[in-house]
Amino acid sequence: MARANVLLVDDEAPFVEALTRRLSKRELDITAAHDGTQALEKLEKSRMFEVVILDVKMPGMDGIETLRQIKTAHPLIEVIMLTGHATVESAIEGMKLGAFDYLMKPCDIDELVAKVEQAAARKQAQEEKITLARIKEIAARRD
């Protein structure tokens, strides 16, 4: 089984292709989307995604807006931002909106993989917490 299920969102097709190959080789399950709308559709269709790698600068709906909508619809999914240039402001804004972390493009592949794994781990931990809370609730209800 893959180490994590990842949705990669970037408008630059060749970049997405190359990165998909590389990440797949590192045992990540990659699905590609080329803009924000497509990404939201894919997230809607499938519940398997754990981590989204999201380019900040995209035509149409930009990364920050996409992030906002992802977080509203799927609060548990972790998002790693990729920025063409690291502006402290957009990074801070992304963090405020609940992004897991941000990386500058082009990024070191190992760093990216590590971040994805951390994000997936966190998501799993969160989900476990919720499951536990549910179990407790159900258990409590029985009393």
What are the residues binding other proteins (CB under 8 A)?
12, 14-15, 18-19, 21-22, 25, 57, 84-89, 104-106, 109
Smallest gap from residue 16 Cβ to other proteins (A)? 9
Smallest gap from residue 40 Cβ to other proteins (A)? 22
- Nearer CB in complex with other proteins: 20/69: 20
**Amino acid code (one letter) for 91:** A
- Nearer CB in complex with other proteins: 107/121: 107
Closest CA to 29 of 11, 42, 12, 40: 42
Separation CA 71–CA 66 (nearest Å) = 9
Smallest gap from residue 142 Cβ to other proteins (A)? 51
Q: How far is CA 43 from the centre of its chain?
A: 10
Closest CA to 54 of 143, 46, 71: 71
- Nearer CB in complex with other proteins: 96/141: 96
Side-chain half-sphere exposure of 101, counting CA atoms within 13 A: 15
- Nearer CB in complex with other proteins: 76/95: 95
